[in-house]
Copies of this chain bind each other. A is one copy, B any other.
Amino acid sequence: MRSDVKPDRRSRDNARVTITDLSQALSLTKGTVSRALNGYPDISETTRIRVIRAAQAMGYRPLSQAQAIKTGRSCSLGLVIELSEHDAHAPFLAEFLAGLTQAASAEGWTLTIATSESEGDTLRIMRDLILHRKADGFILPRVLWDDPRIAFLDRENAPYICYGRSKNHAETSYFDALSEASMAEAVTWLAQLGHERIAYIGSASHYAYSHLRRDGYRAGLEQEGLVFDPALMIEEVLDPEEAAKATRQVLAMARPPTAILCATDTLARGVYDVAHEMGLKIGSDLSVIGYDGSPEAQAMWPRLATFAVDNRKAGAALGAMLMARVRDLNAPLQQDLIAAEFRPGGSTGRPDKTPEELAHHVIRLSVDRSRND
């Protein structure tokens, strides 16, 4: 009876093939096998091929943890999500993660995720992740115009890739959507429908994209030969409530805008709220365009016209860029841009009133409502 050879152990331990298994099968030392696989020059080409063949045949893949303690690299990408603005992350997070993990796992890497409560927290966490080799580098989502993470990681000499273009984007590796072009495109779309007064509701200026989108709006106006009215541009708008306030403000003008362009879909919600509250019909009385292509846009009625960013592709690109950067921190910077796709919706249409008529309409509706109270 020799059947009691720990059959329980076998099922799990036998599964992984280690470098020692491989070296024994090849009658080489594990040092040689390691060098062969890692491209050291002091291994003959014939041996190298023999080793690689056997490694594939036996299904050998080094344990990244074991590698990490000597090399310092754990083959994992870091992503720290700042919760204070999680709302801003929610819509695109799933697709984004999909892209990232797809790129990572294609090369046997993994994604390590952490969340933080504040800016300082984020830096602490990133340092900790690097120190404990839970991450070799970082993807920086929602890049700020003047982002402390960039300065920090530069100082720490850690690899990173920005999702977005910061103030100094020329000196960083980044991936970004051409949102300025989208904003200009939106203006063109509205102008061709016949809109002449187009308002812009922009988000907090510490976000890098705010600058770009605002500039895109202005570029679009110029391109279409429309005059820029500073009163129609409201920035530093953080959430739907503030967007609603901004909407009321521009609709109270003597010559209100017949269309409102929003830096994000979330802000557009505020515009819708005011329209519903006032009784304005979106798509005829007032046209609206957002940006992000979020699920929210799908839930609004009429459908919000918006620009859909392929966040999965963005994640995949960022992951690949970061891995390259981890492998060689001195490689030339990588910078890539992608265009967002316009997704029309019922929220835009020909203006059925001039600005002056719209102003009267707004007043009449407000009188009606106060009479009902």
Contact = CB atoms under 8 A, between A and B. Distances in A.
Contacts of A101: 113-115
A131 B15 contact: yes
A296 interface: yes
Q: Number of copies of this chain in the oligomer?
A: 2
A153 to B, nearest CB: 13
Contacts of A65: 65-66, 68-69, 74, 132-133
Interface residues of A, number: 55
A299 interface: yes
Given A110-B134, A301-B300, A301-B301, A81 B97 contact: yes
A34 interface: no
A327 interface: no
15 contacts: A69-B69, A76-B134, A83-B98, A87-B295, A90-B90, A90-B91, A111-B112, A111-B113, A112-B113, A240-B298, A272-B299, A273-B301, A296-B296, A296-B298, A300-B300
Interface of A: 12, 15-16, 61, 63-66, 68-69, 74, 76, 81, 83, 86-87, 89-91, 93-95, 97-98, 101-102, 105, 110-115, 125, 129, 131-134, 156-157, 240, 269, 272-273, 276, 294-302
Given A101-B115, A110-B134, A112-B112, 9 more contacts: A69-B69, A76-B112, A81-B94, A86-B98, A87-B295, A97-B115, A110-B129, A272-B299, A295-B295
